[in-house]
Chain A
Amino acid sequence: AQTVTQSQPEMSVQEAETVTLSCTYDTSESDYYLFWYKQPPSRQMILVIRQEAYKQQNATENRFSVNFQKAAKSFSLKISDSQLGDAAMYFCAYRTDNTGKLIFGQGTTLQVKP
C-alpha cells in the first residue's frame, strides 16, 4: 500500500527567508502524481503545486518549487521569499490510480515570523 510521510509536524521561517518542507512516500508504481496542498486556518485547502512522476524537471509555481527525487521517493517543497500569508498547514499527497483517490501525509504546520 502506498504511504506518504511528513516528518516535520511544525516548521517556522522568518519573513522573506526560504524554507523547505519534507515529504517521502512509498510506492511500487512507476507512474503517479505528487501534490502539495495548503490549508490556511479556517479556510479551504488549495493546490500549491503538482509533479508528474514521469517528468524529470522539478515543478515550479512562482515562489514555490519542488525537489523531486524519484529514486529516493522524496518530494520536498521549497518556499522562497516567505510571506505572512504562507502560514498554513501543508499536506503532501500522492495519487496513482484513476479513482481520484489522494493519499495524504500528516501535514506540516508552517509559521511565518514577521
Chain B
Amino acid sequence: ETGVTQTPRHLVMGMTNKKSLKCEQHLGHNAMYWYKQSAKKPLELMFVYSLEERVENNSVPSRFSPECPNSSHLFLHLHTLQPEDSALYLCASSPQLGYETGELFFGEGSRLTVL
C-alpha cells in the first residue's frame, strides 16, 4: 500500500460539472498539500494544511475548494472549471510543517481534463 493515495487517477469533466479529488495518506503525517502540475511549467503550490487547518492559499481561483476533514484525508472540490485547469493534480504530505529535512511524500496524481 502506497503512503499517499489519490483517487481518481483520471477524470474528465465538463465545465459545468462538479467533481472532487481525494487524497489519503497512511503515514501519520500532519501536513498535507495540493500542487498543480502543468506541462512545461513549475509545480504550483495551491493549498497547505497543517492539522486540518489551512495555512496557505496561493491565490487559487474559488472554483477550487479544498477540504481537510482530518489529518489523513484531503479533498479538492472542483466546479465550473475552465479548460486551462486541465493538469495533473498532486497531493503530498509531510510529518509536519517545517519538517527539518523538508521532504514531501507525493501521491501518483489525478490527471484532470476539462472539456
A positions within 8 Å CB-CB of B: 4, 9, 33, 35, 37, 42-47, 50, 91, 95, 97-107
Contacts and interface: CB of A to CB of B under 8 A. Distances in A.
Interface in B77-115: 90, 94, 96-99, 101-104, 106-108
Nearest to A104: B43
B43 A101 contact: no
B42 interface: yes
A91 B48 CA distance: 20
A107 B48 CA distance: 22
Given A100-B31, A103-B42, A106-B42, A45 B106 contact: yes
A106 B42 CA distance: 4
Interface residues of B, number: 25
Given A35-B102, A104-B42, A44 B97 contact: no
B68 interface: no
B20 interface: no
B33 interface: yes
Contact of B48 (A9, A33, A101, A106): A101
A100 B58 CA distance: 14
A100 B97 contact: yes
Given A9-B40, A37-B106, A100-B102, 8 more contacts: A35-B102, A45-B106, A99-B56, A100-B96, A100-B97, A101-B45, A101-B48, A104-B43
